[in-house]
Structure 1
Amino acid sequence: MEYLDFELPIKELEDQLDKCVVIGQESDVDVTNTCKQIEKKLEETKKKIYKNLTAWQRVQLSRHPNRPYTMDYIRALFGDTFLELFGDRGVKDDKAMVGGLGKINGQSFMVIGQQKGYNTKTRQYRNFGMANPEGYRKALRLMKMAEKFGIPVITLVDTPGAYPGLEAEERGQGEAIARNIFEMCRLQVPIITIIVGEGASGGALGIGVGNRVFMLENTWYSVISPESCSSILWRSWEYKEQAAEALKLTSFDMKKQNLIDDIIPEPLGGAHYDRETTFKTVEEYIMKAFNELKELSTKDLVAQRMDKYSNMGEFKD
């Protein structure tokens, strides 16, 4: 297990607990009470740390290398029923954007999401979860296919942003994202969107328009990353913590501003501490949302989605 800087007190206590257990196993000394005291202190320390996280600490948790990625959710939720589909039928297959058909409890879904890598080799292969225009066009192709056959769509957002390279701009990165937003607004099937990690800029919005939008507890959703915001405003990355607070990018900030529908709770310590519980909770939210949306007519589905986004940003004096 890798630990973030603010988790070091937890690491120290877990190391103490491990040593205590080893002493008890290798000697005749009764260390039961000592171990219980350490366990109690460890639990209290975890609660104190994770119940008082700053915006920047939640950003760090969203990027934790042990955190489950899109393909982890797909394998857990869909299992052997998942059939991956490839290519945008124009340029190539973008490995940063994955998608395909699968079933949860017998119900078919088209699932689409950004996939990061687990190590240096796979991060390069997946382009760090930053999709090119063909990735967004592949996503749109799969959504239109789902619409044709009346299959609901699930999108899993986890990206530091769309790929900003020159070749991506030459192939129409901005147009591809804008086209996706436009088409998703009027797609005639239910769309359930979940932010499972980072939700940055247009890269997230390109698959982020949904009838129901959820965020996992320790994720963020914003027009810009804290580091980039800091470099623009302060000409330095050193103010990323202040930028994170100012951007109001956490799940709790987004819910307070009515920009998302609900927050999916994570196990104490983050999704990576108990993956099975996280996957089960996500499945419950998906099925609950689907059962609500399937009762709506096609016209009402589109109208609800349009009204949802049209009302964002309105305020009264």
Structure 2
Amino acid sequence: MAIFNLTPAGPSTFILMGIPGLEAAHIWISIPFTTFYIIVLLGNFTLLFVVGKEETLQKPMYLLICMLAVTDIVKPTSVVPKALCIFWFNLKSITVDGCLTQVFILHMFSVMQSAILMTMAFDRYVAICNPLRYSTILTNARIAKLGLVALIRAILFILPMPLLLSRLPFCENYVIPHSYCEHMSVAKISCGDITINRMYGLVVAFVVIGFDLTLIALSYGLIITAVLRISSKKDLQKALNTCTSHICVMLISYASSLFSFLTHRFGQGIAPSVHIFLANLYVLVPPMLNPIIYGVKTKELRHKVGKYTHRMCSSQVTDFNPV
């Protein structure tokens, strides 16, 4: 990441403040944050493990769930360990390269996650509206290619962000009033003109998220039209069940993302401590809830997870038996 180095006159490190105004409560705040992060890791790694072990689950829908699980692991892991170091040990300094790398990873995987959610909506559209052609339209190889396209798109859109930040002057102000490096939180402490940074952030948000949300809305609009034509109650219920988990995940992901984005740029009346606290929840709560939603609402996945959980519990009881 040497390409992200600032000019020689720039700082070598930044100082992350954690949650300004709530420094005295950092230790207490770290308790739910740590709990949420552990649940994120356990839930998403469990999904990856179960799908990887079960050949019957190695289908397009579950491969997409695995891609989402990877983004749900990487996003919080890019910021939460450093935030916990601030909360626990008051280790507030972060190198410039580390900060800009954090910006790149956080935003890149956010954009990639949006593309995966869009692909999930298309997957459900094909499954419900063209079920007989599902296996020919969406193959595992095609899903892998779509995942690669999502990754390349995310890199191309987000790479300019740290490069734009690396060109800004900082005039001795190296303190970032945040618990992690986010594009605009770093740009705002610069003493230079950040108009390009603001405009590029808005363009990425409205072009990428706007495009993805439009296609998602179109997919579910067609799904609803098709579902309303179903006369059988049983088939109607089945069709609705296949979409419920995806809709819940999309609502949680996009609602939290848009709220964090809008309050950062337009929420001047919101206290900084409230905004930053919510920004931390944005990288923790959706990744924590996603595997729970899929585990509860997807019958086949729930059954397989239950099977492996039962095996592990039985194995532990056998190992503990002194006889």
* Bigger helix fraction: 2
TM interval, shorter chain, is under 0.3
* Bigger strand fraction: 1
Normalising by structure 2, what TM-score?
0.27
